[in-house]
Structure 1
Amino acid sequence: MPKRYSTARGREFGERLRAAIAQAGMTSRQLADLLGRHEAKVSDMVNGKGGFTLLELAVVLGICRVPEPEREFLLSLSPATELNGWWQPYGKCAPVQSHTARTNLAAAKTLISWHPHAVPDLLRTADYARAVLAASATVPTTELDERVRALHEMQELLRNGLDCTFYAHEFALELQVGGRNKHIAQLQHLMRMANWKKIRILIVPAAAGAHAGMAGPFTQLTFPKYQPLIWTTTENSSLFVEEEHAVEGYAAVVQALDEISLDEDQSQKWISRRCVRLQESDGAEDEIREDEDEPFPPL
């Protein structure tokens, strides 16, 4: 069955409008009666399918007493619900949680994620996540607890039967974040997660050298009813890519990473060996000792 046309903007518009209507205690039938329209028309509106005017939307938002910030957001988003792709600039730093990412993650059937520099967000322990956030130059320290909780809420979506494949570079797992003990705990967590039925963790070895994923991290989501999308983030923005050929380009990167990565068994053994080495050492091998530093060679 062909997948129906849907966009990230349209899905978010529909979800947030449905939430506003539910919070007001209204039903589609009641709204249809108040608007003097067929219930099917209201159904199209709340599912982000279009076919309504801004005036009709404004009336619905007024009936439901939607607060001004959300009302303005929905009114501004409404004309763009059929547009492919969505760049979301945030200002100085990203929000505590991306509503768009959460909405699409909850609806997804499969997830493929690539992380060259750090442990994938959805596989991080609370201590690891906190250490990453604390090192940020833009995240307020007063938001650390809230952001860790928000990440945990996103991680809980993995329990909904989502089929996940995480590609991570060897260097990303070697990087010590939060100190030696927290590094060990993070690797142990990865070993546990790798035993979940629907989670695969594959390591791209350093020996592979240059590779197709050097442009940076991204996440590919596919859906039972919608076309796939790519989600990628910067320091203070998110980009949701939906254009068909662009998505195919990322799929080609995934295929190339799969060809050079260790398989599941090899990846688990690599993580286990690294964890054992850290546990057996006294931490001295991980310290940078000033008297052992060698000067850079002359240019």
Structure 2
Amino acid sequence: MPRKAPGARERGIGAELRKIREATGQSVTAVAASLGWSKSLLSNLENGKRNIEPEEVASLLAVYGITDSRRDDLIGRARAADEPGWWERTLPGVPTESGTLASYEAEASALLDWTPALIPGLLQTMDYSRAYMLSDGIDPSDVEVRLMARLRRQQVLSGPVQYTAIIGEAALRTPFGGRAVMADQLRSVVRIADAQNVTIHVVPECIPHAGLIGAFMVIRFPVARPVAHVELLRTAMFLDRDEATPYGDAVARLRAVSMGATESTQLIATVAEEMRADGGVA
């Protein structure tokens, strides 16, 4: 059976192995030679470009003299990598990029999400999300399965990940599904903002900033380098290394022009009440 494509978990394991190797002062060339491997094989393992077997992890840790709890943890994680998450099971109508994003989110320590004109996907109610998908021209037969995938993605917020959403004010006032649906959506955002691992900021309208170019998410991991997820029309792209750096810088600039967390949730609640009144919601 061919190996499955490497993903976020492999990036994390590889980064930790690289960190351990560097701490021992050994070079890639020397370690690869001691194991009879090619230099490129070890480099690919460390950079998450190749799926890694538990036996390979054990061999590397033996060379590095690691016998403490890190050994069991890393070998266990490599073994668990063979167990597919829901995102690795093909769902008709769900883009491959959505599964890749879910795999990164599942391994992340922090998610920094910027959306200038929409409520972020991880915060969307099903009614709001459905209305947006239909307005975007997605085949109605694909909408429900995409909603299922989105609901599964949202479960990541129940874990330890630190999630920061920076939302353009225009997103609060664009009522996909109508004003009643939007009122429910905004009230849901306010409720989610109460979680200790969730922080929400709003960027006021009419403030010039580089984020106006489009939505993106910076995904940070415990050890591996950050990845930027950049949204495109009907697809997305993932950037890492130097290509991801400008997006991390953009997050800092967006925070500088955004409202504080308390002020932001107060504004969201106020707009929700406006939508509720106009939409006739009880």
TM category (shorter chain) comes to: 0.5 to 0.7
1:241 to 239, 242, 263: 239
Q: Which moved more, 1:232-241 or 1:106-115?
A: 232-241
TM-score (norm 2): 0.66
Cα distance in 2 for partners of 1:51, 1:144 equals 32
Structure 1: 5+ residue stretches without partners:
1-8, 16-37, 53-92, 284-299
Contact 1:97/1:151 (CA < 8 Å) preserved in 2? no
TM superposition shift of 1:50: 4.7
**What secondary structure, in the 3-state scheme, does the structure 2 residue paired with 1:166 have?**
strand
**How far did 1:227 drift?**
0.6
Kept in 2: contact 1:97–1:147 (CA 8 A): no
Q: 2:262 aligns with which of 254, 257, 265?
A: 265
Identity over the aligned pairs, expressed in percent? Answer: 25
- Alignment-derived partner of residue 69 in structure 2: none
Residue 181 (structure 1) aligns with: 180
Please tell me the root mean square deviation across aligned C-alpha atoms, in Å.
2.8
**Change in CA separation of 1:272 and 1:13 when aligned onto 2, cut-off 3 Å:** closer
Aligned to 1:255: 252
Q: Look up the match of 2:75.
A: none
- Provide the residue aligned with 2:274 in structure 1: 277
CA contact (8 A) 1:94 1:236 kept: no
Three-state SS of the structure 2 residue aligned to 1:119 is coil
**1:196 aligned partner:** 195
Residue aligned with 1:118, SS = coil
User: Can you give the 5+ residue segments of structure 2 that lack an aligned partner in the other structure?
Assistant: 12-34, 53-92
Aligned to 1:215: 213
* Paired position in structure 1 for 2:62: none
Please report the TM-score for the alignment, with normalisation by the length of structure 1.
0.63
Q: Give how far 1:143 is off.
A: 1.2
Which amino acid counterpart does residue 124 of structure 1 have in structure 2?
Q
Show the counterpart of 2:118.
118
Q: Specify the SS of the correspondent of 1:250.
A: helix
Q: Work out the number of aligned pairs and report it.
A: 207
State the match for 2:60 in structure 1: none
Q: CA distance change for structure 1 residues 50 and 116 in 2, over 3 Å: closer, same or farther?
A: closer
Deviation of residue 275 (structure 1)? 1.5
Q: Quote the Cα distance in structure 2 between the aligned partners of 1:96 and 1:239.
A: 11
C-alpha separation between the residues in 1 aligned to 2:274 and 2:233?
33
Q: Structure 1 residue 123: deviation in Å?
A: 0.3
In 1, are the aligned partners of 2:8 and 2:107 still within 8 Å (CA)? no
Deviations 1:47-68 (A, max 9, x none): 956599xxxxxxxxxxxxxxxx
Counterpart secondary structure, 1:266: helix
Residue pairs, 1:40-119, within 5 angstroms? 50=50, 95=95, 98-119=98-119
Q: 1:146 to 1:252 in 2, by over 3 A?
A: same
Per-residue CA distance 1:14-50 (angstroms, 9 max, x = gap): 59xxxxxxxxxxxxxxxxxxxxxx9x99xx8999565
* Letter aligned with residue 11 of structure 1: G
Q: 1:228 to 1:10 in 2, by over 3 A?
A: same
Indicate conservation of the 8 Å contact 2:203/2:258, yes or no: yes
Aligned-partner Cα distance in 2 for 1:261–1:140: 36
> Is contact 2:108-2:220 (8 Å) kept?
yes
Contact 2:187 2:272 in 1 (8 A): yes
Please report how far the alpha carbon of residue 211 of structure 1 lies from its aligned counterpart in structure 2 after TM superposition. 1.2
Letter in 1 for 2:272: C
Name the CA shift for 1:96/1:187 in 2 (closer, same or farther; >3 Å).
Answer: farther
Deviations 1:84-137 (A, max 9, x none): xxxxxxxxx861762211111100000001001110010000000100111122
1:143-158 to 2 correspondence within 5 Å?
A: 143-158=142-157
Separation in 2, partners of 1:232, 1:190: 22
Distance 1:136 1:224, change over 3 A: same
Change (3 A) 1:120 1:51: closer
- 1:250 offset after TM fit, Å? 1.0
Q: 1:131 to 1:14 in 2, by over 3 A?
A: same
